[in-house]
């Protein structure tokens, strides 16, 4: 693991899952979409494609499942907490086809908020929680490792792992929200969290 990476889910596992989803789409989904479009073009002016009513419904049934597979694969990102920024578990649309992992420098984060449910007795961090990141461009994203259907929950499955991620993200929140670091970011300077802060 690089020196500036404090924590990361297995990069090879995420990239393998991403390649599998994208490969399935380009191998099966894209040819079917092209085939349907070609047949629709040939049948133009002669009624519906293949002589079947409801072309739009047929197109939706054909395209939507493969588009969902494409989007599911393309948005995957290797979650990592670094000294110089954070790699969220999902990437924005503009970064879908980039091979390298998407990273957000801490200087681009305007603030981090934590919502947690402490109504029941849990070990700190093992209770339901969500960290909300607000970027300086106004965009927001959240990190929630709870549950197998969240982008991060698929890789952080043990209570010990969840507690560890919670502790690290809390440190990130404290450092990024610190007035001194917000002032540095406002001046366009890099915000770096010392590695020893995570010890």
User: Where do the structural domains in the chain lie, given as residue ranges?
Assistant: 7-74, 80-198
pLDDT of residue 80: 94
Q: Is 64 exposed, middle or buried (0-12, 13-18, 19+ CB in 10 A)?
A: exposed
| Run of H or E including 186 | helix 179-186
3-state secondary structure of 154: coil
Q: What is the pLDDT of residues 153-167, one digit of tens each?
A: 777 878 888 889 989
Q: What is the mean pLDDT of residues 86-96?
A: 87
Rounded CA separation 63/68 (Å): 9
Q: Considering only 44-53, 77-86, 108-117, 183-192, which range has the smallest mean pLDDT? A: 44-53
Q: What is the DSSP letter of 107?
A: G
Phi and psi of 152, rounded to 5°?
A: -90, -30
């Amino acid at each position: 693991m690089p020196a500036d990476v404090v924590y990361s889910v297995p990069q090879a596992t995420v990239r393998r899952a991403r390649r599998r989803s994208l490969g399935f789409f380009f191998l099966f989904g894209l040819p079917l979409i092209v085939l349907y479009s070609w047949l629709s073009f040939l049948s133009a002016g002669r009624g519906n494609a293949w002589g079947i009513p409801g072309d739009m419904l047929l197109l939706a049934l054909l395209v939507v499942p493969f588009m969902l597979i494409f989007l599911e694969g393309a948005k995957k990102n290797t979650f990592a907490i670094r000294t110089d920024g954070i790699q969220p578990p999902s990437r924005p649309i503009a970064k879908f086809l980039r091979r390298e992992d998407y990273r957000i420098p801490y200087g681009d984060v305007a603030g981090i908020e934590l919502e947690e449910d402490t109504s029941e007795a849990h070990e700190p961090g093992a209770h339901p929680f969500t960290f909300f990141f607000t970027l300086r461009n106004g965009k927001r994203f959240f990190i929630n490792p709870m549950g197998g259907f969240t982008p991060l929950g698929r890789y952080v499955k043990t209570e010990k792992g969840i507690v560890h991620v919670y502790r690290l993200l809390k440190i990130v929140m404290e450092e990024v929200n610190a007035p001194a670091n917000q002032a540095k970011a406002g001046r366009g300077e890099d915000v770096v969290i010392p590695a020893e802060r995570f010890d």
